[in-house]
Amino acid sequence: MRYTRIMTMDPAAVAVASRSFSRNPILRAELLERYPRSRFNDEGTAVLSGDALVKFLRGHDKAITGLDVLDDALFAAVPELRIVSKYGVGLDMIDLDAARRHGVSVRWTPGVNRQAVAELAICFMIALCRSVVPLAQELAAGGWRHPGGRQISSSTIGILGCGHVGQQVARIGRAFGATVLAHDIRDYGDFYRDAGVTPVPLDALLAQSDIVTIHVPLDAATRGMIDARALARMKPGAFLINSARGGIVDEQALKEALVAERIGGAAFDVFAIEPPVDRELLTLATFIGTPHIGGGTQEAVLAMGRAAIAGLEANSRSGSSASNN
């Protein structure tokens, strides 16, 4: 039965579960040129799951997915699925061991949105250093306050995770004139030397940085790694930025640190639960939250989508990295 289902797949059809890809007219047109009978997620939820995802993928041996969770149960329910091409970066939504057991090839291209996410991280740095968001809100309410601020050029930026995005943040930070520290489980010695970046242990990065920016993937080693202890190691008045993945930071511990003014502020584009539910955190004057927009620029969307289309081809190879963000 399984053999029959695989052999009767339509080679001109791809199931596109990602709503963002499905809504982009340029990506739709480019995919349809190669796979003219493809199916798009035009009516389901933004992120398909469970039976809805199974129903959507059935009958296809190739799929493009985004934030949809693909686990052992999903692969077992859709045995005809042979290729999954990831739209976006990060593979924490896909059980790679289960994919291998079921003979599914997972394709992805790391770093395709590096510039977009790096620019957002720098945007957060400027906003936090100059209190842009609370001062704009105060001005709109009739206030006129001048609390001063800090320049990036005189700051020490600590980059946790120096893969594709982290390296781009380092380059931009150095262009501002900042001192840049980095911590990663991989040795990027050549990059550190060329870019003028100093590698340090994690505790030293937390203790010495005026701004800590997170660019690691979410996995068993990084989940909850910035907890109350790590936050306590940060400089008083330092800023924390997370534009990588929700779940890396203990958000309750962060809220407590902000309320107690143990750190100066934080800016997050990602959350453990999305949309986030902790209104107390979101409404703190020292917190900036955005709705996972890091890779959402026009340029990044096209780059991620075209990489996903290319990943559908038989000769495409999957990739992985410990610091792919």
State the catalytic residues: 245, 274, 292
For the record, the structure tokens of 68 come out as 């949809």
Q: What are the residues whose beta carbons fall under 8 Å from the beta carbon of 227, sequence distance 6 or more?
A: 250, 253
Check residue 70 and report its DSSP letter. Answer: B
Q: Of how many residues is the chain composed?
A: 325
Contact 30, 309 (CB under 8 A): yes
Q: How far apart are CA 287 and CA 269, in angstroms?
A: 11
Largest CA distance in the chain: 72
**Quick one: which of 225, 227, 254, 252 has its CA closest to 239?**
254
Q: Cβ distance 82 to 62 under 8 Å?
A: yes
First to last CA, the chain: 40
CB 46 within 8 A of CB 21: no
How many CA atoms are closer than 13 Å to the CA of 98, on its beta-carbon side? 18
Q: For residue 282, give every residue at least 6 positions away whose Cβ sits within 8 Å of its Cβ, in sequence order, or none.
A: 276, 289
C-alpha pair distances (Å), 174 with each of 41, 114, 239: 42, 16, 18
